Chain A
């Protein structure tokens, strides 16, 4: 039996295998129990300093990581592009090396450029966790999504998951596809053709442009936000038309002859990709995803910090 060396970074789901993901889930189970108990902290990463470098706006991911780090007893520093030297023309390598010279052990980074974490990993020594790099990957989101499906159904294998919406500009979609497939789920993407990469079927996913067809097929629908800030041109005529075609309403859910599980990575645009009625319904596990995010990120930080992944 070959024993692989522990991985240093979490740059994407692509670098993981199913066993490693199961290890993350089992560790997350323990942390979820911990944070639901009376004492929510453990000193597992005491004396470890983690820099949260967010070169792009984020609220929930940054807060979730920060909370996970604090519950593991790590020291944290936060750095965002609005307060950074980047706007003064400093390179990414210089910015990060300046922070690392203050004896930082791990870097959690969000960046608008695909591959930015891979690039950084070639030039610095610290451990890197990808908190979303452009339209490439968002591995911890995929892990918490799969973890939430596992929690809901007991297992991810055999489940049918449709990812609906702006696949072209999403980092969540790609990581979800890799993660769910590794765990044995079937994946479909659904949305207007202009928002789906032309060759995505080659990744082994089904493609549909009809939401009702997709909902009839799936066990889980993961609704993505329209990323208007990433769209350099119009990909559909109007939000109203998009919402009519691809927005998930209670009416569409009730036409199904089964009950499916509804997910959303947030932030939600109520009334666009999902109606308030659906988002707040019993079928929605959106808030469980947020809760699980902390446990899964604790697991990732702990396992990488302890070099056990």
Chain B
């Protein structure tokens, strides 16, 4: 087919490369990087002027939720992928389907087939238990064969320790990835937000950090007992960061991901009863937020996930108590990270977007070099984007309202060599 694209005037972002932070040209031929350097001008089918924007390996979001099949008006597989592309992601992994759920190979195969054709490749998570009810193990290997990249029951997991043990053991023996959201619901009956000063002053029942900590500690004990690695999805408490740090020092193989909302917002943000900030894991204290940032910077924590959870207006524009959980974050994950890490060198945190999430999923991470598939993200660190008033690709109503502007802007993505420019 011989489709060639010449990417000009871009600044390479790869701290491991000698060309890091240098203006380069990138020649892409049939979806593969053919050359990186200067003076590559030749007759390309497509010329793209990067306007000096950074270019990195394509970003990957390791976890979000898509209610399609079932409730495509909240978010379809297509709009999920479009929202991801708008957010700078070339690949996303999501737990899909509200009815039917992703607990069987036919749903996984459907999501994989539709997802692979979209602007950002959408890869399916599979449910680890039937209907996600935490009672009976699903056919994880069959689903893996159909395209599931990892398994979890999500934040609403109620799996018993016994089932969790079997899942960790069984998945590890087959080389599959099983991730657990550490949340012991019985310690937070009717909890609506982090247990702290804010919940005491707003009258809500709290979700104490210990409801996360006890589950994390038991998962670590199980991983040690079974001698398997541990994948932790949705760390939100400072104490959890410390526990993971210590466990790693003891030699436990742990990867852990943090939802992006927990890097920017705290429980104080809920003082106005903003239902779009009603998320799980809950927004915790400023001390927790800072500990998460530090944990990501020192390598204790592995990845940031969007934890995108789209909802419609009927589910969200109601009293806080009755509002559905979740926030639609895919489009602004990068902007929120720019804000959260605004005092850090980009080399310390931008790799989380393309490397950390792949490491979290057990995928191979390579540098931006010749011979690699041309899945790339073009972004600016200094650009700005209005949040309220932005036209989001997501169908979701529950995009967090953030006053003013967020720094950072996604210029576009390249997937399989095709350039998709973001406008606005």
Contact = CB atoms under 8 A, between A and B. Distances in A.
Indicate, yes or no, whether A interacts with B: yes
Interface of A: 14, 91-93, 111-116, 118-119, 123, 133-137, 168, 171, 174, 197-200, 202-203, 232-233
8 contacts: A115-B202, A115-B319, A118-B272, A119-B273, A197-B206, A198-B208, A199-B199, A203-B201
B322 interface: yes
Interface of B: 189-190, 192, 195-197, 199-206, 208, 272-273, 275, 314, 317-322
A202 B197 contact: yes
A174 B195 contact: no
Contact of B321 (A91, A115, A171, A174): A115
B317 A93 contact: yes
Nearest to A168: B205
Contacts, number: 72
Contacts of B206: 197-199
Nearest to A178: B201
Given A115-B273, A118-B273, A119-B273, A199 B200 contact: yes
Contact of B203 (A91, A93, A174, A199): A174
Contact of B195 (A93, A198, A232, A233): A198
Nearest to B203: A136
Nearest to B204: A114
Nearest to A14: B201
Given A136-B204, A198-B195, 7 more contacts: A113-B320, A114-B202, A115-B273, A118-B272, A119-B273, A134-B203, A168-B205
Contacts of A198: 195, 200, 206, 208
Contacts of A91: 314, 317-318
A168 B314 CA distance: 30
A113 B189 contact: no
Q: Which of B192, B201, B205 has the most CB of A within 10 A?
A: B201
A141 to B, nearest CB: 14
A215 B100 CA distance: 59
Given A135-B203, A137-B203, A199 B197 contact: yes
A309 to B, nearest CB: 21
User: Which 5 interchain pairs have the tightest Cβ spacing?
Assistant: A136-B203, A115-B273, A113-B321, A113-B319, A135-B203
B272 A200 contact: no
Given A119-B273, A199-B195, A232-B189, A114 B200 contact: no
B197 to A, nearest CB: 4
Contact of A115 (B195, B208, B314, B320): B320
Contacts of A111: 319
B197 A92 contact: no
A119 B320 CA distance: 8
Contacts of A232: 189-190
